[in-house]
A and B are shown apart, each in its own frame.
Chain A
């Protein structure tokens, strides 16, 4: 059945492409195999329904011109060739490698399958044509429904865990963009609960994302930078602060990577670390808390102690 439908749709495309003029529905029925028979009104109705389904299916890929000068029976149909097909694109070898890398990057099943269409441009010969490998969207179950809702501009609902309230509630959101930042995926959209734009971390969504039939009312704001919003949210200090920490020689690599400078001392290296996100820095210190001393400021030391207190509270 699926083969019959595909063949009929393919033949419909070829008939419309090869016609010198737009065709009426009855002319299409006579030329494209798969609509007949239509000896009775019932059969004609069935053919009409097939044609309507085919138009809907083909509109995913092609642009139809449908002109109705005097009612449906006289409508004529043609394919807008310019808007339906690729223009000729000449790509350099470097560009073909980039297309191949972009095509092979997605690990998400849905986006990976969609991106695979890029292979018809790049061909298989550029796969592995670079010493760079790319991977993105691995095992992220929400990318597919969110991408589809964004494309269709439809409002979504999902259960979301809020850290600030320690509650899981249903949120109604107008989805705008998907954001990857520091290995975490976020949804950027308009949140009906707060009546403002908001970022949702995908790992805090539970259950299924429900795509409603309601169209979004607020367009994606072009002047908002979601990555900057995340960064500003992470900032705890108005101005850059400098922390001094003492670490053993050849140890605490995570803090050494953040250090602007260091000086040697008999009891270890003293690192100077500039920061405006005390929360993240305190977590880095907590990672190596059994062998680091925070020399200054005290406020940072207190933050680390608070983190460690929370750890001991759940483990005792």
Chain B
């Protein structure tokens, strides 16, 4: 295990400021395994303010029936955290700026005030990350938030990105997720009788229904996507890879300015639509059936 100066210093200050603290909590804060935290504690006990003075830090791990606790009686004056490094500052400020860019999810004013409060802890207050987010209907988000808090249902008119069909559904929202600036709602869909993820900017209408959900206790907020099953081979500009989830892409090879890749998709109609909108930047190499579907749809437009 690599022992790092920053982690050691931060941990000693954290232990002193929070003593006594559960070992598991320390492991979570520092993203370490419990055995690694024990190793750090052993090392910190050897930390001292000098041969001349001789005092040692005093960190004790106590295993008892209430769990494993760490008590810190002496941190040799190290009870405040060292300031965040430039990398840490930028990552945390960037995370907060990301939240600030979505006023429909969190209150902008609260984030701005928090950034001001935290300025003294940052090595740099410069924000090098700019976030632009799409437009989302604040009223729809509010209806979803209220339903999550009250565990009630919402009737939505939804436009599916897969086939662009519009449907009416009653959903029981569980959580909201902002993924790369796009807001999704995870919900139990009564129409499908299963958990589904909906893009909030594809909800055409939402109506609060003040009825309790039927499945809230048995669902979770896992945003995992369903497994894609159709395997295709595509030739495209490298930037078009962004259109696909990274875990669905394999076998990427370069061909001049283009690449070829094997991509698994859940819906063939979605892929053919994407290809039609790509202005020739994506070519379906296989299966032939999907290639034919692209041409059929294109010819329908050209002959109209």
* Chain A residues in the interface with B (C-beta under 8 A): 2-3, 5-7, 9-11, 13-15, 17-18, 30-33, 57-58, 60-62, 83-87, 89, 91, 94-95, 98-99, 101-106, 110-112, 114-121, 123-125, 127, 131-139, 147-148, 150-151, 161, 166-168, 176-184, 188, 201, 203-204, 206, 220, 226-227, 230, 250-254, 256-257, 283-284, 286-291, 293, 304-316
User: How many chain B residues touch the partner (CB < 8 A)?
Assistant: 116
Which chain B residues border A180 with CB–CB below 8 Å?
Answer: 98, 129-132, 180-181
Contact B132 A183 (CB under 8 A): no
Cβ–Cβ < 8 Å partners of B294 in chain A: 311, 315
A95 in complex: contacting residue of B110, B160, B298, CB < 8 Å: B110
Cβ contact within 8 Å between B106 and A289: no
The minimal Cβ–Cβ distance linking A207 to chain B, given in whole angstroms, is: 11
Residue in A closest to B184 when the chains form the complex, CB atoms: A133
Contacts of B215 in A (CB 8 A): none
Pick the contact of A123: B25, B44, B98 (CB < 8 A): B25
Interface mask (B52-83 → A, CB under 8 Å = 1, otherwise 0): 11000100000000000000000011101111
Choose one: A3, A13, A151, A253; the contact of B166 (CB below 8 Å).
Answer: A253
Q: Which residue of B lies closest to A33 (CB)?
A: B51
Asked if A289 contacts B95 (CB within 8 A), the reply is no
Distance in angstroms between the alpha carbons of A116 and B177 in the assembled complex: 19
Question: In the complex, A180→B6 CA distance in Å?
Answer: 30
Q: Which of A98, A148, A181, A206 is B96 in contact with, Cβ under 8 Å?
A: A98
Pair B130/A124 contact, Cβ less than 8 Å:
no
Q: Are B246 and A15 in contact (CB under 8 A)?
A: no
Q: What is the CB-to-nearest-CB distance from B81 to chain A, in angstroms, rounded to a whole number?
A: 5
Give the distance in Å from the alpha carbon of A206 to the alpha carbon of B204 in the complex.
39
List the B side residues contacting A179 at CB < 8 Å: 129-132
Cβ–Cβ contact B95 & A102, under 8 A? yes
Interface residues of B (CB under 8 A from A): 2-6, 8-10, 12, 14, 25, 28-31, 43-44, 46-53, 57, 76-78, 80-88, 90-92, 94-96, 98-99, 105-106, 110-111, 113-114, 117-118, 120-121, 124, 128-132, 134, 145, 148-149, 158-161, 164-167, 174-182, 201-202, 204, 221, 223, 237-239, 241-242, 246, 257, 273-280, 283-284, 291, 294-302, 304
Contacts of A289 in B (CB 8 A): 276, 297-298, 300-301
Q: B80–A311 contact, CB under 8 A?
A: no
Among B8, B25, B277, the most chain A Cβ lie within 10 Å of the Cβ of: B277
- List 23 A-B residue pairs with CB atoms under 8 Å apart, sorted by A's residue number: A2-B2, A6-B3, A32-B50, A83-B83, A86-B80, A87-B120, A95-B113, A102-B92, A115-B92, A119-B31, A131-B149, A147-B128, A161-B257, A204-B239, A250-B165, A251-B166, A253-B202, A254-B161, A257-B204, A287-B164, A289-B301, A307-B276, A311-B279
Q: Which residue of A lies closest to B145 (CB)?
A: A131
Shortest distance between the CB of A25 and any CB in chain B (Å): 14
A177 touches B128 (CB 8 A): yes
Chain A residues whose C-beta falls within 8 Å of the C-beta of B129 in the assembled complex: 177-180
Using A133-B178, A204-B239 as known contacts, say yes or no to A314 and B283 having CB atoms under 8 A apart.
yes
Report Cα–Cα, A230/B52, bound state, in Å. 62
Residues of A contacting B: mostly: helix
Distance to closest chain A CB from B93 (angstroms):
8
- Nearest residue (CB) in A for B249 is A139
Complex Cα distance, B57 from A312, in Å, reads 73
**B contact residues around A135 at 8 Å (CB):** 177-180
A303 to B18, CA, bound (A): 64
Instruction: Tell me which residues across on chain A come within 8 A of B117, comparing CB atoms.
Output: 89, 91, 95
Also in contact, A60 and B85, with CB within 8 A (given A13-B9, A133-B176, A135-B177): yes
Interface centre among A83, A161, A311 (most CB of B within 10 A): A311
- Check B87 against A114 for contact (C-beta < 8 Å): yes
Known: A10-B12, A114-B85, A180-B129. 15 other contacts (CB 8 A): A11-B49, A31-B53, A85-B82, A86-B83, A106-B95, A118-B92, A120-B10, A125-B25, A127-B28, A131-B175, A136-B98, A147-B90, A181-B181, A289-B301, A307-B277
Query: Are A105 and B278 within 8 A (Cβ)?
Result: no
Collect the chain A residues with CB atoms within 8 Å of residue B257's CB. Answer: 161, 166-168
Q: In the bound complex, do residue A253 and residue B159 qualify as a contact, i.e. CB atoms below 8 Å apart?
A: yes
* Cα distance, A13 to B166, chains bound together (Å): 64
A131 with B221: CB separation less than 8 A: yes
Q: How far is the CB of B195 from chain A (nearest CB, A)?
A: 14
Bound-state Cα–Cα, A254 to B269, Å: 14
* Closest CB in chain A relative to B234 CB, distance in Å: 11
Q: A89-B118, A284-B277, A289-B298 are in contact. Are A10 and B8 (CB under 8 A)?
A: yes
Bound CA–CA A251/B120 (angstroms): 53
Are B273's CB and A250's CB within 8 A? no
Question: Could you say which residues of chain B place their CB within 8 Å of the CB of A105?
Answer: 95, 98-99
Cα distance A313–B294 when bound, in Å? 11
Given known A-B contacts A11-B47, A98-B99, A114 and B128 have beta carbons under 8 A apart: no
State which of B76, B118, B302 has its C-beta within 8 Å of the C-beta of A305.
B302
A119 touches B297 (CB 8 A): no
Residues in B neighbouring A176, C-beta threshold 8 A: 128
